[in-house]
Amino acid sequence: MLRWIIFIIIYIVITIYGFQAIRTVTKSTWIHYLFLAIALIVVGNFLFQFLSSSEGRVLNPVKSYAFGFLLAFISFNLVIIPILLGEDIIRFILGLYDRLVTTKDVFYLPSRRKFISQVAVGLAAIPFASLLYGMYRGKYRFRVLNYTLHFEDLPEAFDGYKITQISDIHSGSFDNKEKIEYGVNLINEQKSDVILFTGDLVNNKSSEMLPWKDLFGTLKAKDGVFSVLGNHDYGDYVDWDSPDEKAQNLVDLVQLQRDMGYDILLNESRFIEKDGQRLAIVGVENWGKGGFKKAGDLKKAAQNIEPNDFKILMSHDPSHWEAEVIDDDYHYHLTLSGHTHGMQFGIEIPGWIKWSPVKWRYKYWAGIYKEMGQYINVNRGFGYLGYPGRVGIWPEITVIELKKGTSTT
């Protein structure tokens, strides 16, 4: 309860600053009341949605939108605070100077300047509008990213082999069937040789996927669809009535993927054979640093493959690649991960800038990286979680073409 009290106090303080800016910019009373009404509705809805839940950290679309609107409103006020606070410091200095120099009996602060508040509100409108856009359109702004990777030891039969990777579906967040159908069709339109899904099918419960089971079951590729588990697939963020109920949820989720036609790899491997040659698909369960489940067992998953096999590893969390995979005795040519979502917020201009706050948590957070002759692709995710939108970091479908030889670029 204490944390909620602290939250409310902080919310009131930052809202006061936002209100001061609005009141300085315009004298229209109805706008003042509108701002205060929005502040009350946003925080009231957020508290109702999160305090009335008894299932733990379960996120559904209604709760996500409550959080999203709160985040947008708070971001508006947070941009205003440093500007007005800076003005307050100057106002105090001027007031103190006037009191000491003129020896007036009363200390007073100079009035706020309308121009400063106009600048503050104008700047605050940028993240506010961006977050609202991200909720309305950004979360379904699917894009296909194409990469060509060269390997000298790639079996010749797989020269030109195409892989489509998707990750972090988070079906429990979906709220627009038409947009999701478009995304699924876009995956199939790539006509890759194989589709690899790197975990987090749901937010919390296997039942979240039931309305989308038939749609995602239409994903097809010549050599099949393979999948692994992500941290959210285990139901660790739900207050289950019993351990058996939680265990059954995982059983149901695994079976659901098999019913959809996915070959789910639970610390296992498979071979794709072509013209007498083969490449290995290795899939580990979730393994992540920072308090995330470490169910992945790389040694177990690779027990049936040979050192000289060309290996593609599916591991949901990229911290696994950094901690265990790079230095493993086996050379994993390509690792496919997800998990970070690119934080669903950032700035990306190809060839110029790639930035997101998530880079302070994960060294490898989006796109292709290479270490010790091994590649990893960190997919930005198909779905979304928490904040029900995306700003600058759009939902991703990755297509990777394997080429034999050395890159000429």
| Residue 183 and residue 119 share a domain | no
Closest CA to 142 of 398, 397, 399: 397
The pLDDT, as a whole number, for residue 281 is: 98
Give the pLDDT score at 56.
Answer: 64
Q: Which of 98, 114, 136 is the last residue of a domain?
A: 136
In this structure, the answer to whether residues 174 and 303 fall within a common structural domain is yes
Same domain? For 15 and 123 the reply is yes
* Beta bridge partner(s), residue 367: 378
- End position of a domain, from candidates 89, 116, 136: 136
Last residue of a domain, one of 86, 117, 136: 136
How far, in whole angstroms, is CA 78 from its chain's centroid?
Answer: 22
Total structural domains in the chain? Answer: 2
Q: How confident is the model at residue 53 (pLDDT cuts 50, 70, 90)?
A: low
Q: Are residues 93 and 220 in the same domain?
A: no
One-character DSSP codes across 305-331 = S-TTSEEEEE-S-HHHIIIIITTSSS-
Domain span including residue 110: 2-136
Q: Does residue 132 share a domain with residue 150?
A: no
Each residue's pLDDT tens digit, 66-107: 999 999 999 999 999 999 999 888 888 887 777 677 766 676
Whether 409 is in a domain gets the answer no
- 146 and 114 within one domain: no
- For 294, the token pair is 């470490």
- Whole-model pTM? 0.91
The pLDDT tens digits for 154-213 are: 999 999 999 999 999 999 999 999 999 999 999 999 999 999 999 999 999 999 999 999
